[in-house]
Amino acid sequence: MDAAEIMRIAATSYWVPPDSEHVVRDGFTVVRYDNGFQYDTGVYEIDSARPAADLFAEVTSLARSWGRPATYWNGLNEHIRPASLIDVLLAHGGEEVERLAILALDLNDRTDLAVPADVTVEVPLDRAGCEASARVAAEGFERDVTPVTDAEIAAHRRTVETGSGISFVAHVDGRPAATGGTTYVADGRAAKLWGGASTIRDRGRGAYRAVLEARLRAAQERGCEVAIVGGRVGTSAPILRRAGFRSYGEEFMLRVPVGPAYPADDRHLG
């Protein structure tokens, strides 16, 4: 795959929980997360010939109707369309909250990650496993722990049973220490890795590497050609590069406050 295709897959692969509303419009998709996810109103797949102010107004109106205080615009980079969108978001109070390196690995060239023998890995399919994964993710991404719903557990099982993806939890000394998932995309040619996180206590013990190794092995066994991931520039990206991943670019997320309703004739602002 060339760099453009890797960046496209990264931008169009994102998490939509089974019980969350998502709205597809001309030029963007908005996901309403109702399960305690920190970035609770995510804007994705931004690509439009429409004026940036129109996109901003439409997304803001939708978020306001949901009672949300902010929107989170994902996949932003120098190639975004419309080109003025980032300036509009910054003019309305946008603040960067996350920056990701888009990384990819040719699965035919992957090497052993030397996972310590005392780290065990399992696929979470029952409530206990899913709750362990949720606790690790909450700590790793610095958000509150929320109850795992029956719909989420059923979705985990269905994902594995249908072969559309898989997730893993690693344990150190009997306690959950790392988690991460994979969705198979691009007609099965690519494995999109997501949600890689580890607990603070067990960092440096090999749990993150164990989950990464399990995901890469599963993707290779499934016949995928490449693994693609957005790694946080300051944390997971260096680990992924040491594992053989190459960087193809960066993207960032902006948090934009919703604020009060604007008069109709103020849509040109920004």
Which tokens hold the place of 224?
């995928």
pLDDT at residue number 260:
72
Q: What is the number of helices (H) and of strands (E) in the chain?
A: 7, 11
pLDDT value of position 261: 63
pLDDT, one tens digit per residue, over 156-200 is 899 999 999 999 999 999 999 999 999 999 999 999 999 899 999
Cα dist. 92→230, 236, 255, 270 in Å? 26, 30, 10, 7
Domains of the chain with bracketed CATH: 3-100+251-266 (3.40.630), 105-248 (3.40.630.30)
Output the six-digit token pair for 97.
């909250």
160: three-class secondary structure by DSSP: helix
Overall pTM surpassing 0.75 (yes/no): yes
**CB contact at 8 A, 75 and 85:** no
Q: Which residue has the higher pLDDT, 2 or 270?
A: 2
Q: From the CA atom positions of the chain, what is the Rg in Å?
A: 19
Asked whether residue 267 carries a pLDDT value surpassing 50, the answer given is no
102 pLDDT more than 70: yes
User: Is residue 117 pLDDT above 60, yes or no?
Assistant: yes
What's the gap between Cα 128 and its chain centre?
Answer: 23
Residue 111 in this model has a pLDDT that exceeds 70: yes
List helix spans (H) across 74-126. 85-91
Two tokens, residue 15: 């998490």
Each residue of 218-262: pLDDT tens digit?
Answer: 999 999 999 999 998 888 899 899 999 999 999 999 999 997 765
264 or 93: which leads in pLDDT: 93
141 pLDDT more than 80: yes
pLDDT at 247: 94
- Extract the tokens encoding 7: 């960046």
3-state secondary structure 208-269: HHHHHHHHHHHHHHHCCCEEEEEEECCCHHHHHHHCCCEEEEEEEEEEEECCCCCCHHHCCC
60-72: per-residue pLDDT in tens? 999 999 999 999 9
Using CA atoms, how far apart are residues 80 and 75, in angstroms rounded to an integer? 8
The helix (H) or strand (E) run that includes residue 61 is: helix 52-65
pLDDT band, residue 128 (cuts 50/70/90)? very high
